[in-house]
Amino acid sequence: MLTLFFVDDLPTAVGQIYEFDGEDAHHAVRVLRIAAGETFMLGDGNGRWSQVRVFAVKKRSLEVEVLHTGFQEKLNTNFTVAQAIPKSDRAKEAIELLTEAGVDRIVPWRAARSIGKSCDKYEVIARIASKQSRRLRIPEIGEVATTDDLCALIKASELAIVFHESATKKLSDCVTNTNIVDALIIIGPEGGITPQELIKFEGSGAQVAIMGRPILRSAHAGIAAISAVSALLKVW
């Protein structure tokens, strides 16, 4: 696939001349060595895209012409992952993996046993990961949620699954309907979801499932969960 960059003022008219500048353009010129005649993609992060061709290379920018333009519709199922906030290095990994897996919305959850505190770079991480994975829609980063906030999300979702090592129910037994519009996955912290949190989640309508025998790190569990649920829902 063609290299992808995001811009706020996406050119959308075929034949339009556009000057691509800023940090990404500088990276394209100095690091990627993009030359005249090469093509790449520009996107607005919300599904709209334009394929462009370079006709002039400047010191810190590129002049391009729009060749094609279009819009990528959302998938039929909207995925939200509530991720217990990990410590900073693991948080970056978690956001990157969830973005690459195609999650639509990531909600940082301040669980009772959460280690991490800051979520101020999540949007930047998601944007970079979207560019690297060539996805045209940057996932939304929600506000930091409490356990009660997640209970409200559970009630608003058609399918809500909490993954926990003590569960006896298989994930495949949780997904009996493939016509799901809104799906919610809840991933706990390294220290685990507390019994009180599980009671609240189940009381709100969530199903508690086990994710195989090995215990995954919190930062890695999300991509495994979204992959499995996507397959069961026939999204993949």
Domain ranges of the chain: 4-71, 78-232
**What is the Cα–Cα distance from 63 to 15, expressed in whole angstroms?**
12
pLDDT given at position 177 = 86
φ/ψ (deg, to 5) at 99: -65, -45
**Token digits of residue 179:** 């016509």
Confidence band for 134, pLDDT divided at 50, 70 and 90: very high
Report the pLDDT averaged over residues 167-178. 87
If one looks up domain 78-232 in CATH, what number appears?
A: 3.40.1280.10
- Helix or strand run (H / E) with residue 183: strand 182-187
Residue 119 pLDDT more than 90? Answer: no
Amino acid (1-letter code) at residue 145: A
**What is the Cα–Cα distance from 164 to 157, expressed in whole angstroms?**
19
pLDDT given at position 50 = 97
The 10s digit of each residue's pLDDT in 78-96 is: 999 999 998 777 889 999 9
Domain 4-71 bears CATH identifier 2.60.40.10: no
Report the pLDDT averaged over residues 145-149. 95
pTM value is 0.90
**What is the Cα–Cα distance from 196 to 112, expressed in whole angstroms?**
10
- CB neighbour burial string for 25-51, b if at least 16 within 10 angstroms, e if fewer: beebbeeeebeeebebbbbbbeebbbb
Closest CA to 77 of 97, 93, 101: 101
**What is the Cα–Cα distance from 149 to 43, expressed in whole angstroms?**
32
**What is the Cα–Cα distance from 182 to 158, expressed in whole angstroms?**
6
